[in-house]
Chain A
Amino acid sequence: MGTATGIIRALNSGIKHIAIKRFTLRYPEEKLKFVGDGYQFDPSTGVGIAGLKGRHMLFHDHCTGCQLCSIACEGVAEAIAMVKVPDQQKQNKKSIMPQIDYGKCVFCGLCVDACPFYALYMTNDYELSSFSKEGLIYTPAQLQVKPYVAQDSEIQITSRGATHG
């Protein structure tokens, strides 16, 4: 193949892309769709349930304050600290619950695997930015709130190429 033919072929291959749909996701306006409600773990079978490893969610009525999540995090990020629960909130036996520092968390989900009481799950919430370091520390009361995550686009493959529809 000659040099001229090769260059024309290369240009032609690029020109074909004018007809192909745009693949880019326009992020703040449209957001990706995830499977399920976030990463969860079933201690009875020892197998997790697929989902995004995002911000945690703590179920206060299941948490016993056993500190297993904090111990699991010790060698990883040391993001989980057990803190005293205020008197007006729901108490457990030791009246301590995990508080998570998202400035340190690496979202590996090993704390979820460690929880034997179905108390700690992960959610689809991934937009955790904050203006201060203190804003990244989530108290047990904040972790209780189920986040709202907009999910509208998914990869779609058509005859005119793939797109985030």
Chain B
Amino acid sequence: MTGELPPGLALQKVDERIMTLNVGPQHPGSGHMRIIVQIDGDYIVACDPDPGYVHRGEEKMAEYRNYITNIPHLERPVIHDSCNVLYPYVLGVEELVGIEVPERAKYVRVIASELNRCIYTMYWLAIYGIFLGHSTMFMWPAGDRELLIDLMEKMTGARVTHAHFVPGGVRNDLPPNFEDVCLRQVNYFEKRIKEYSAVFYDNPILIARTKDTGILSREDAIRLGTTGSVLRASGVDYDLRKKEPYDVYEELDVHTNVMKEGDSYARSKVPWLDMMESCNIIRQALQKMPKSGSVRTKLKPNPKGKGLDSVYKRVESGRGSLGCYIVSDGKTEPYRLKMSVGSFRNLIALPYLLKGEKLGNMPSVYWSLNYWPVEADR
């Protein structure tokens, strides 16, 4: 070949010992993303996560739709956690348009979002189990998740992607006799997830695989800007439900679960503890909820923002802080919508955690970050 190759095509000089390995984007163990790993023997030298394969342009799409028709497509990034994904958007639009939410609707929202958090965490836990080759831990959460999906179906009319929250409250009232059914199934669900400790969390094989792998220290967790269960597993007591309570969370007794270790084991255990806390919150909310009353403030079909205005709201989702920044210029569509998601912030920690680890530990470290590829790409 004559002449010089263009810079992009020129071969890079590499160390003979180092091999570059692409994990993904079609690998079942990575989700819709790629992790470029450089390995020396069995040890990871460097790692470069490469997200962006499922980018759908949610933020740009939102600029062409009005405040109501934005609802179905904005919950698509995480269909298992669709109520929580929609929560900051709905809170923001309420402030932009200037409407009050009935008291009962606030409690219904809290119940729906806590049920959704459990549904998401169960799905995440099932995949974490199968990543580690633990088939029982795949089957049990996938089956027990059905208890809560059934509740959401009764409540909202859809098993996933509920489109339940709207500015001004929720779409429909609870079905008759829902409180009893909810309490019964949530109690049984809590009993079931407690059984996971013997088969998974106290299992010496799991402990041997996940303990002391991918340690994220308290300082690094704060410096890298991680959120949610990753931050709480590193010993930082930070939960938006407690620090910046939205809707009725300040009237409920929210307990946060913090672990000091900061390794994969702690990161996988904190969401499980959070599920039990969610069950507590649901029980409290069912008890304190007003037994009757409206659940939706009437709103014009095509609401407008009040002139040039912007609002930023954030909630605690299953994957950490989830924020929504909306700019309005007084029209029926938002001028700009920005979603700041927990998944992307947690992914930033991955290169620091994998350095020096064995390649076999990569799935357990990667999935313990509570990362959802579709949400990170938006």
**Chain A interface residues (CB < 8 Å from chain B):** 1-3, 6-7, 9-10, 12-14, 23-24, 32, 34-36, 38-39, 41, 45-53, 68, 72, 74-77, 106-110, 113-114, 122, 155, 157, 162
Contact, CB under 8 Å: B172 / A10: no
CB distance from B1 to the nearest CB of A (A): 50
Contact, CB under 8 Å: A110 / B153: no
Contact, CB under 8 Å: B199 / A110: no
Contact, CB under 8 Å: A110 / B72: yes
Residue of B157, B185, B200 touching A39 (CB-CB under 8 A): B157
What is the chain B residue whose CB lies nearest that of A51?
A: B157
Residues in A neighbouring B204, C-beta threshold 8 A: 1-3, 6-7
Residues in B neighbouring A110, C-beta threshold 8 A: 68-69, 71-72, 163
A39 to B153, CA, bound (A): 11
A-B contact pairs, 29 of them (CB 8 A): A1-B202, A3-B204, A7-B203, A7-B204, A9-B198, A10-B199, A12-B198, A13-B199, A23-B143, A34-B153, A35-B176, A46-B298, A47-B295, A48-B173, A50-B155, A52-B158, A53-B157, A72-B68, A74-B69, A75-B64, A75-B66, A75-B69, A106-B161, A108-B161, A109-B163, A110-B163, A113-B171, A122-B157, A162-B147
CB distance from A73 to the nearest CB of B (A): 8
Contact, CB under 8 Å: A24 / B198: no
| Further contacts, 16 of them, CB under 8 A, given A50-B174, A157-B184 | A6-B207, A7-B203, A13-B199, A24-B143, A34-B154, A45-B294, A46-B297, A47-B171, A47-B295, A50-B155, A52-B157, A68-B301, A108-B71, A108-B72, A109-B157, A155-B146
A113 to B205, CA, bound (A): 53
Contact, CB under 8 Å: A36 / B205: no
Residues in A neighbouring B155, C-beta threshold 8 A: 50
Chain B interface, number of residues (Cβ within 8 angstroms): 48
A14 to B299, CA, bound (A): 52
What is the chain A residue whose CB lies nearest that of B173?
A: A47
B26: interface (CB < 8 Å): no
Contact, CB under 8 Å: A6 / B171: no
- Of A10, A34, A106, the most chain B CB neighbours within 10 A belong to A10
What 0/1 readout, one digit per residue, does chain B (131-175) give for beta carbons within 8 Å of chain A? 000001000000100110010011111100101000000011111
Say yes or no: A155-B147 contact (C-beta < 8 A), given A108-B163, A109-B163, A114-B301. yes
Contact, CB under 8 Å: B143 / A109: no
Contact, CB under 8 Å: B188 / A48: no
What 0/1 readout, one digit per residue, does chain B (291-316) give for beta carbons within 8 Å of chain A? 00011111101000000000000000
- Of B71, B163, B174, B195, the most chain A CB neighbours within 10 A belong to B163
